Structure 1
Amino acid sequence: MTNLINKIICLLIVLGTAVSVSAAPEAEYKKLVKSWALNADGSQVFHYNMELTIYSYLAMRSLYGESFIQYNPEYQTLKINSSYTKQKDGTIVKTPDNAFVEVLPRTAVDAPAYNQLKEMVVVHTGLELGTTIYLDYTITSKAGYLPELDIFEPIQQASPVKEYSLSVTVPVDRDLSYSLANPEVMAKMNVEEGMRTISWNLKNVKPASLAPMQRIESGDMQYLACSTFENNKEALNYLFEQFDHPESMPLVSLAETLTEGKNTDTEKLQAIHNFIVNDFAHSRLSLNETGYRIRSAEDVIRTAYGTDAELINLLYGLLSAAKIETKVCAAYPVKDPQECSILKAIRLFIQAKADGQTYLLTSGSPKMSEIGWTADYCNIRDLKTGEEMDLTPCSPDLSYDVTMKLTDKEAVSTIKANIPAAFVAYSDSKATAFSEGDKNASVSQKGNMITVNYQTTEKVETVPGYYLLRLPDSPAGVSHQPYASFNSTRDCNLFLPYAPNETYTYTIEVPANMELSTPVAEKNISNAAGNCIQTIKQNGNKVEVSRSLKIDSNLIKRSDYPAFHTLMAAWADINNTQLLFKQK
C-alpha cells in the first residue's frame, strides 16, 4: 500500500510539473521598443529594438529562429544597428555576415511590378535554451514615399512582453491623432527642438490569444493607431485620387465587351464582377506594403493581376463605365471616428445598385462582402467624399420547411428553403449550391431573401428491423461551420461572421410497417448566448420535428462563451439530426 501511495504522489508531482511547464511561455520579450518619426522634410524613420529570451525548443527552432524585415530599397534604407545573441553563460555570439539574407517577400512573388521589394531575413545564431536575442534596426523612408505617418500597430505579441515602449514623433506644427487601445496606459508628451513626441510605456503585456476567429471589432485586440492626416476625407482622397476615371477609353471599351448581349444591369454587374473574381491573379500585397500606391486599371488589365486595391479600382471603373450606380467604400474595424484617418486598417469594397438590388462586392469573392454582416461594428465611409455611410446589416435568417415521404429504402423530400441572399454567390442565379442538383428547382427572390423549392432523394440506412433517417439541412447552416466544434473553453471573445437564426420544420410520412423508435421529446435551452429548441412529435402516421437556433449577437463575450458552446453542442449533436424507426 505504501508503495502504491508513493507512486501516486510521484505521478501527481510529475503531472503538476507537466502542467506548470506547459503553462510557461515559449519565449519572453525582456524589452521591445518601436518608434516612428515624421521629420520636417517629410521623411520617416521607424526604429525597432528587441531583447527576446528563448525558453523552449519550439521557440528556438520554429518561432524565433529568424526575424523578417520587409522594405522597399527604391525608397527606403534598412540599417541593422546591432544583431547578436547572449547565451545563458554570458557568451556573446554576433550574427555573421552570411546570416543576413535578402529575399523577395512571399506576397510579392506573383506581382512583377513589386519585385523590387525586399525582405531581410536575419538568421539568429548561437541559439540554446536561455539564450537572449538582441536585434536593433532602423528603416528610413524618403520624403514622398509614404503619404503621411499612418500607424495601426498590434500591441500583443506571440509571447509576453516585460517592458514595451512605443513612441511617435512629429514636428510641433503637424496635427497628430492618436489612440492606444489600452485605457490603463496614459500617454506622455515631450516637446524638444521643434519636435513633439508622444510615448507609452507598458509593463507585462500578455501574449496574444491563439484562439481562432478573433477580430479587432471584438474588443480583444489591443493596438496603437496614429495618423498625421488632417481628417478621414484627406486620407481617403489620397487613395481615391489614384483611381481611374470611368470615362477612360480602355475601361469603356472593355465594359462594352464584357456586357455585350446583357439586357439588364444585374446581368452586366454579374459579368463584370465574374471577370474580376475569376480572370485575374490576386496579389496578397497590402496597401502598406505597396506604399499606398495603386497601379492604373490599364496596367492591371495588361498584366492580368492586381492587389485588392487595384482590382477594386478596376471593378469600380468597369461598373461605372457600364452606367451602373457605384461607390467605393472603406470600412474601418473600429467605430471611433477619431481613428478613422488610418489607411493601414481599412478594407475596401464596392457598393453597387442594379435593378433595385444593392450589391456589396469584393475583388476576391463571388459572394457579398463580409462587411454586409458586420456593418454595425465598423465605421464605413465613401472613399470619394469621406462621408460616413449607413449600411443596413443583412439578415441571416434561414428557414427550411421539409415534407418527407419515407419508405424502407429511401426518403423523398420536398423542400422549401428561404435563404439569405448573402449566402448565395451573386452570379448563381439558380442557387445550385442549395438545390442539390434538382434540375426542376424553382428560384425566386424578394428583397434579400431567396426562396428555393426543390426535391431530393436519399437512401435510408438499414440494419435488420431498424431504419435510420438523416434530416436534411442547409449546407450554409451553423452545424457545418467550424465554430460549431470549437473547444469548450476560450481565453478571449469570439466574433462570428453573423448572428445565426435558423429554423427547420420536418413533416415525415411514415409507412404502415414502421414506427418511430426515437423518443418523443421537447428540449429547450435558453441562456446568455441565445436559445435552441428541438421537438419531436408523432401524430398518427406522421412525425413532426422542429429545430430552431438563435444566437443573439455576432460578438460572443468570453464570459458568455460557455453558454454559446452549450448551444453549439446541442445543435450539432448528431443524435438531434437523425431519427430511428423500427419495423412493426
Structure 2
Amino acid sequence: MKRTATCILLLAVLFAVSAPAQSSLEQGADAVYLDISHEYILNPDGSTIYNYEHRLKYLTNFSFNSAYGESFIVYDPEWQTLKVTKCAATMADGRVVNAPFNAFNEVLPQWAAGMAPYVRLREMVVTHTGLEKNAVVNLAYTITTKKGFLPGLMGSVMFGDRSPIGRMTVRVKVPSGTSLAAGMARVDLKPVVTAENGYSVSTWTLEHIPLAAVEASQPPLASFLPVLLFSTAGMEDLQRHLIGDESSRYSLSPTAMSLAKEITKEKGSWIEKALELRAYVEANVGLMNAELPVLGYRAMRAQEVLDRNAGSQLDRAVLLAALCRAAGITAVPVLTAAAHSLPTDVPSLNQFTNACVMCSCESPEGEMVFLDPNAPQNGPALTRSAGRNFLPLMKDAKITEMIGLRSEASTLEFDGDLTIGDDGKVEGTAKVKMTGGFDFSFAKEAAPGSVRTTLVKIGQGMRVTNLQTDFPKNGTTECSANVSSGSPLADAAGLVRFALPGAAGGLGDLHLSLGSAPRTTPVDFGFPFREEERWTIHLPENISVAIMPTPVNLKNEIGEVHFAFSQEGKDVKVVRTFVLNVPRVPVSEYGSIRSIVGTWQEPAHQVMVLKRP
C-alpha cells in the first residue's frame, strides 16, 4: 500500500512539473505535436532508411476537420519503398482506434498529373480515424531508398512548425568511421554522439518549441526557425551526381538548335536573347512542380525535356541552359535555397528548393544575370535572395551565400509636376525611374501597366496619356506620361482632398499592416531600397493649402523616413523619402520598422488638403 501511494505521489509530481509547459504550448494552438522523431540510417551497402514518427494531439474542430485530418507521404517507387508501420488514434476516453485498411490510399500526386515523365511517382494519403478534441494520433512510417538516389545520406530538418512541438528528435546513424558533416542554423545545438552496434549515432533534441504564427510579410519558416543540415557526401560527390555526362545533358538536336536561333533572331543583345528563351521555356514547357528532394535532384537531358514538353524545375533549368548555349550564351543551371543564413560548409542538397540559370557573355563588363524559367520574372531572379545559398551545376563549384543588393542599388524615384487650373481641372506630367529590385528590364511589357496604376490615383483620379517607357541600360527602367483630371476637383464644405499616391511597386504596394500587437517572426521586404517622391503643384488664385503638414525626419538602425513641405507663392513642393537598410527585419527591431513605416503611412503624408475661399 505504501509503495502504491509513493508511485501515485511521484506521478503527481511529474505531472505538476510537465503540465504547465504542456499547457503553455497548447494555448492558442489548434493542435500540438507531443513528440516528433526523424531517424536517418546509412546502410553499409549505400542504401538509406528514413524512419518518421509523431504523436499529434488535436485541440480544436479545425485541427481534425481541415488541418490534420490526413497525412501525405510522397515517394518514388522506382527508387524507394514505403511502409506505414503505425497509425492509431487514442481518443479522449482512452480508447484506441487503429486505422482500417481503407485509410491508406495511394494516388498520383496532383502536381504530377499530365506529366508523362513523372507518372511513376506516388503519394500515400493516410486518412486518420477516431478524431475528436483531445484525441492523439500516433503515425509512423519507413522509407527505404536504393543507393544512388542521392550522393550520400543527407537531409535538412526544420525544428518548428505551425503547431507547437513538445519534443523533437533527429537521429543520424552512419557506419562507424563514416564522415558526417553537420551544421545548425540559428541555434547552437550540439549533437550527442554515441556508438550503437557498429554505427555512430548523432542525436539532436529540442523541447518546448512554440508554434510559428502566420504574420504579414513573413519569410519562409526555415529562414527564422532552427534548421539542421547534415551530409555524408563531399562536394565532389555532389558535382558528380548533379552534372553527370555534361556533353549529353545539354546536347540538342539540329531542330532544337534551329529553334533557339529562331526564337532569338530579332533580339539584339545577348541579355535580350536570354530573356526571350526564358519566356519560351516558362510559357511552353509544362512545369511538374514537385519538391526537388522528391526527385533526388536528378534531371532529364535537355532534349528529352523539350521532346516531352514537361519537366521539373531542374529539368526546365537544364533546358533553358542548353537553349542559351545554342544561342551562343554561356549558361549553367543553379540550385538555390528558399531559406536564409544556412551553413555553407555542409554539402547537403536538401537545402535547395529552387532551380534557375546563371547566364553570362564574353564582354569587358563581365555582365551576368540569373534567369528563372519557373515563374514570371521582372528583374534578376535572385534579387530577393540575399543571404540564401546557391550552387552552380559546374565542376569545382562551391555552396555560396548570395550577396544582396544595397539600398542605393534599388531605387524608386517619382517626379510629378501638376497644375490646377482656375476651373479646378488638373493636368501635368509624371516621370518614374526604377532600378535594381524595382526594374522591369526583364519584363518590359509589364512596366507601363505598373506605372499606370499609380498615375490614375493622383488627385481625385487621372487619365493617363502618352505613356512612354525606356530602358537606357540593363537594370534601369524610366517611364514618362501626361496626366489630366478631365473634370474639376470636388470639394466638401470648401475642402478639397488631393491624393499623392506612392509609386507603383514601392512601400505602399506591400500593404503592410504593422499593428501594435507583439511580433513573433521577422518582416521580409525582399531587398533594401530607397524610395523618393518629388511633387510640384501649381495652385490657382482661388485655391490654397488648408493644412500645412509638419516636416518629418526620422532615422533608426533599420531605415529612415523624411517628409518635407514648402510653398513659394502659389507653388507647393512636397518631397517624401523612405530608406530601408536591410532586406529582413528581426523581431528585436520590430519597433523600429513599425515606427518608420507607420510614419510613412500616415494620411497626412499621403494626402494634401486644399481649400477654396
Normalised to the residue count of structure 2, the TM-score between the two structures is 0.85
Percent identity at matched positions?
23
Shift of 1:432: 1.9
**Aligned 1:436-451 pairs, distance under 5 A:** 436=452, 438-439=465-466, 441=468, 443-446=470-473, 448-451=475-478
- The answer for unaligned runs of 5 or more in structure 2 is 1-22, 453-463
- Aligned pair partner of 1:371 in 367, 373, 382: 382
1:431 aligns with 2:450: no
Shift of 1:582: 1.7
Q: Tell me the residue number matched to 1:455.
A: 482
Residue 410 of structure 2 aligns with an amino acid whose one-letter code is P
Q: Tell me the residue number matched to 1:241.
A: 244
Q: Tell me the residue number matched to 1:362.
A: 372
Q: Is the 8 A contact 1:54 1:129 kept in 2?
A: yes
**Aligned 1:400-415 pairs, distance under 5 A:** 400-407=414-421, 408-415=423-430
Q: Tell me the residue number matched to 1:303.
A: 308
1:529 aligns with 2:544: no
SS of 1:403's equivalent in the other structure is: strand
Q: Distance in 2 between matches of 1:304 and 1:90?
A: 54
Shift of 1:528: 3.7
Q: Distance in 2 between matches of 1:49 and 1:380?
A: 31
Rate the CA distance shift 1:182–1:483 in 2: closer, same or farther, 3 A.
same
- The answer for unaligned runs of 5 or more in structure 1 is 1-18
Q: Tell me the residue number matched to 2:394.
A: 384
SS of 1:512's equivalent in the other structure is: coil
1:289 aligns with 2:256: no
Q: Distance in 2 between matches of 1:38 and 1:199?
A: 15
SS of 1:372's equivalent in the other structure is: coil
Deviates more, 1:50-59 or 1:344-353: 344-353
Q: Distance in 1 between matches of 2:172 and 2:306?
A: 40
Q: Distance in 2 between matches of 1:249 and 1:286?
A: 32
Q: Is the 8 A contact 2:89 2:136 kept in 1?
A: yes
1:342 aligns with 2:346: no
The superposition leaves residues 168-192 of structure 1 with CA deviations (integer Å, 9 ceiling, x where unpaired) of 1122243211123364533111233
Q: Tell me the residue number matched to 1:153.
A: 157
1:264 aligns with 2:269: yes
SS of 2:429's equivalent in the other structure is: strand
Q: Distance in 2 between matches of 1:341 and 1:23?
A: 36
Shift of 1:569: 2.2
- Aligned pair partner of 1:254 in 226, 251, 259: 259
Deviates more, 1:243-252 or 1:572-581: 243-252
Rate the CA distance shift 1:263–1:185 in 2: closer, same or farther, 3 A.
closer
Q: Tell me the residue number matched to 1:280.
A: 285
Q: Distance in 2 between matches of 1:298 and 1:21?
A: 52
Normalised to the residue count of structure 1, the TM-score between the two structures is 0.89
Q: Is the 8 A contact 2:344 2:400 kept in 1?
A: no
Q: Distance in 2 between matches of 1:217 and 1:82?
A: 28
Matched pairs, number: 564
Q: Distance in 2 between matches of 1:444 and 1:90?
A: 69
Q: Distance in 2 between matches of 1:248 and 1:195?
A: 49
Q: Is the 8 A contact 1:274 1:427 kept in 2?
A: no
Rate the CA distance shift 1:319–1:409 in 2: closer, same or farther, 3 A.
farther
Shift of 1:268: 1.9
Q: Tell me the residue number matched to 1:351.
A: 358
1:42 aligns with 2:46: yes
Q: Distance in 1 between matches of 2:272 and 2:28?
A: 58
Q: Tell me the residue number matched to 1:9.
A: none
Q: Distance in 2 between matches of 1:343 and 1:201?
A: 20
SS of 1:175's equivalent in the other structure is: coil
Shift of 1:362: 0.5
Q: Distance in 2 between matches of 1:365 and 1:430?
A: 11
Q: Tell me the residue number matched to 2:433.
A: 418
Shift of 1:96: 0.8
Q: Distance in 2 between matches of 1:131 and 1:22?
A: 14
Shift of 1:515: 1.0
SS of 1:547's equivalent in the other structure is: strand
Q: Is the 8 A contact 1:51 1:133 kept in 2?
A: yes
The superposition leaves residues 481-537 of structure 1 with CA deviations (integer Å, 9 ceiling, x where unpaired) of 133567753112222211231111111111122111132431223234221111222
- Aligned pair partner of 1:93 in 97, 102, 113: 97
Q: Tell me the residue number matched to 2:593.
A: 564
Shift of 1:379: 3.5
Q: Tell me the residue number matched to 1:15.
A: none
Rate the CA distance shift 1:552–1:117 in 2: closer, same or farther, 3 A.
same
The superposition leaves residues 366-398 of structure 1 with CA deviations (integer Å, 9 ceiling, x where unpaired) of 3234523433x1344432031466866442121
Q: Distance in 1 between matches of 2:425 and 2:359?
A: 45
Q: Tell me the residue number matched to 2:538.
A: 509
Q: Is the 8 A contact 1:532 1:548 kept in 2?
A: yes
SS of 2:86's equivalent in the other structure is: strand
Rate the CA distance shift 1:171–1:216 in 2: closer, same or farther, 3 A.
farther
Q: Distance in 2 between matches of 1:34 and 1:401?
A: 56
Deviates more, 1:538-547 or 1:573-582: 573-582
Q: Is the 8 A contact 1:514 1:582 kept in 2?
A: yes
Residue 383 of structure 2 aligns with an amino acid whose one-letter code is G
Rate the CA distance shift 1:358–1:470 in 2: closer, same or farther, 3 A.
farther
SS of 1:518's equivalent in the other structure is: coil
Deviates more, 1:206-215 or 1:110-119: 206-215
1:552 aligns with 2:552: no
1:227 aligns with 2:225: no
Shift of 1:212: 4.2
